[in-house]
Amino acid sequence: MARAMWRGAIQFGLVTIPVRLYLATESKGISFNMLHDKDLSRIQMKTYCPVDDEVISRGDTVKGFEYAPGQYVVVTDEDLAAVPLKTVRAIEIELFTAANPDNAAVRFVKGAYYLEPDPIGRKAFYLLREVLADKQLTAICKVVIKDREVLGAIDPFSTTMLLTTLHWPDEIRSVAELDLPDELPEAKPAEKAMAEQLIGAMTAEFDPAAYHDDYREALLKLIEDKVAGQETVEPVAPQPATNIVDLMAALEASVKAAVEARGATPPTSVESKRASSSKSVTAKGAANAAANAAVASADEDQAPAPAKRRKSA
């Protein structure tokens, strides 16, 4: 049985919905213990007091805030519980806004939590969920979790609702810190057309169940091999960065590989199109052009995602 990490209520207007919060995710990473390299004994992380020159227990510690150099004020759990904010025990909805995944403000997610209504609040809970779904809205809210007030968004999810906590605006770094060009580089029309074909060939419905943590599996295999005394497999060499001069060739090769992986006929290369369009238009050439157009149309029908093609000159 999952354990609730927070109990309180959703509040908007005069409506109060008692709810519980549950962590919606869990870490599946591999953890390591720190060992002494000399004898491989596990080391201990101890809490040390330099004034008394002794190791103390965690139970002998308190929270302190440094308000001046070397000067602290002690803050107890009772102090934290007595902070005069409604959001200590309430998810306070501030406003409702269009559920727009392109909104930059909701892209910097901290955590995700499932909401579970108390039996007495189920009717109001699912009424709110239904309206959010029908109107395609998200609820922007504030709540205190683990001694910190966080900005959050509530959205319908499966048979419940999901609270995702967000970063405050002043926590998000500006892209001005990055070394970005003042003017964006322009791609040639042929390069753009081929990039569109590649993206089209790789476009499909996202199925999360089809993905798994390859790194964790490889790391477990490495650990198993070490335990068994076997030699570990050499790592795969990283692919070199694409040379800008070879960008077109890399795109065409990628399109061909992506289309063939799906069992479709690869599209005609840009170079072939150029050679074809440079020929004089004769009766025979016109017939060939018509035949090529028919083949291209058939190729597009067979492909899983329609590929954009340049028009012949």
User: What does pLDDT average to over the chain?
Assistant: 78
The pLDDT of 61-79, averaged and rounded, is 88
Same domain for 166 and 249: no
Do 148 and 192 fall into the same domain? no
129 and 273, same structural domain?
no
* CATH number for position 151: 2.40.290.10
**Residue 118 located in a structural domain:** yes
Same domain? For 164 and 252 the reply is: no
Is 153 within a domain?
yes
| Cross-strand bridge partners of residue 60 | none
The verdict on 130 and 192 lying in the same domain is no
128 lies in the same domain as 272: no
CA distance 194 to 192: 5
* Domain's final residue, options 146, 171, 196: 171
Query: 155 and 195 share a domain?
Result: no
Q: What angle do CA 138, 203, 193 make, to 5 degrees?
A: 115
Which of 71-84 are b and which e, b meaning 16 or more Cβ less than 10 Å from the residue's Cβ? Answer: eeeeeeeeeeeeee
Across residues 297-307, what is the average pLDDT?
A: 42
Domain final position from 171, 196, 227: 171
Q: Is residue 108 part of a domain?
A: yes
Output the CA torsion sign for 281, 282, 284, 286: positive
Q: Do 190 and 145 share a domain, yes or no?
A: no
* 98-146 pLDDT tens trace: 887 666 666 778 899 999 999 999 999 999 999 999 999 999 999 998 8
| Statement to judge: residues 164 and 256 lie in one domain | no
pLDDT in tens, 13-25: 888 999 999 999 8
Lowest mean pLDDT among 3-17, 208-222, 235-249, 273-287: 273-287
What is d(CA 276, CA 286) in angstroms, rounded to the nearest whole number? 11
Shared domain check, 22 and 131? yes
The domain tally of the chain equals: 2
Residue 213 lies in a domain: no
The pLDDT score that the predictor gives to residue 239 is 60
| Bridging pattern class, strands 90-98 and 6-12 | parallel
Same domain? For 301 and 257 the reply is yes
| Candidate ranges 59-68, 82-91, 288-297; pick with highest mean pLDDT | 59-68
Instruction: For residues 163 and 199, state if they share a domain.
Output: no
| Residue 293 domain-assigned (yes or no) | yes
Q: What domain range is 145 assigned to?
A: 6-26+82-171
- Residue 269 forms part of a structural domain: yes
Evaluate whether residue 128 is within a structural domain: yes
CA 81, 12, 8, 150 torsion: positive or negative? negative
Rounded to whole angstroms, the Cα distance separating 4 from 163 reads: 14
The reported pLDDT for the residue numbered 275 is 52
| Cβ(106)–Cβ(164) below 8 Å | yes
Task: In whole angstroms, give the CA distance from residue 25 to residue 164.
Answer: 11
- Indicate whether 286 belongs to any domain: yes
* For range 249-269, the mean pLDDT: 72
